[in-house]
A and B are shown apart, each in its own frame.
Chain A
């Protein structure tokens, strides 16, 4: 009986949200190429990283199903990202004093 319930739930999956996210990803790619063409000096690299982060967020949440995954998955990923950022900050706190 329980199995049948999951069945009904599973037969309702839609393709639409993936296609919307895919179009958003392609649009963001176009934006990042155009922005790189404009000379913004110091802002260029920041803009590129921010757009790449937005794209990764979309892939993680929708394509990799993190938005519907249980809490431990989300916490795991956040901890991983947190430690990458900590490592980067520590690394550059060293180099910026050189």
Chain B
């Protein structure tokens, strides 16, 4: 009836391909943002190879590996939440979105402990201990804080976005016939995951 008509007209005026294309274009700007930093990392690493190797030895590989597994699993849960809504399982989709946010939180908690330990060791920008080290050592930790910090900011933004998606799912704004918002949020979360896939070996595994 009228609600059906409404749904039909909404269907007609929608452009899911365009929405997704817009999201991808935004992701390319993110790629430029992080790409510039990866280039900076590449050049400084090339110029200070041995310093980078020594500096990376103080990284906690266990926390890094755990966080990699957490982010990969959160990528799985957000991907599954889209499949769930496609299969008309609203509750399952909501739970999976909630789990994704929880994984993001656990990632950040690990990050907090990791940074606290580094700061405790005097490895923070401008610390007397760090300044006394070689230039490559200082650069490594500068890049480490900026790149993982910016990535952490993206995790926070992603969590907020997914929480909005949960609200939209509850309010039936995201439905089995109209879930492009959830797909866009998923794309963002996966990009954050891909950036971490490269950050992890470059900072933790180069000793």
Contacts and interface: CB of A to CB of B under 8 A. Distances in A.
B201 A48 contact: yes
Nearest to A19: B76
Interface of A: 3, 7, 10-11, 13-15, 18-19, 21-22, 25-26, 29, 32-33, 36, 44-45, 48-49, 51-52, 55-56, 59-60, 62-65, 69-70, 72-73, 76-77, 80, 84, 87-88, 91-92, 95
Contacts of B35: 84, 87
Interface in B139-185: 176-177, 183
Contact of B83 (A14, A52, A56): A14
Among B20, B76, B177, B200, max chain A CB count under 10 A is at B76
The 4 nearest A-B residue pairs measured at CB: A36-B205, A48-B201, A22-B76, A13-B86
A32 B186 CA distance: 25
Interface in B32-80: 35, 39, 42-43, 46-47, 61, 65, 68-69, 72-73, 75-76, 79-80
Contacts, number: 110
A73 B68 CA distance: 27
Contacts of B47: 95
B24 interface: yes
B31 A59 contact: no
B21 to A, nearest CB: 7
A84 B28 CA distance: 11
B206 A80 contact: no
Interface of B: 8, 11, 17, 20-21, 24-25, 28, 31, 35, 39, 42-43, 46-47, 61, 65, 68-69, 72-73, 75-76, 79-80, 83, 86-88, 176-177, 183, 186-187, 190, 193-194, 197-198, 200-202, 205-207
A59 B197 contact: yes
B39 to A, nearest CB: 6
Contacts of A65: 183
Contact of B46 (A15, A63, A87, A95): A95
B69 A29 contact: yes
Contacts of A73: 20-21, 24
Given A56-B194, A62-B79, A64-B187, 5 more contacts: A29-B65, A36-B201, A52-B200, A56-B198, A60-B194
A55 to B, nearest CB: 5
Nearest to A11: B87
Among A3, A52, A87, max chain B CB count under 10 A is at A52
Given A13-B86, A88-B39, A48 B206 contact: yes
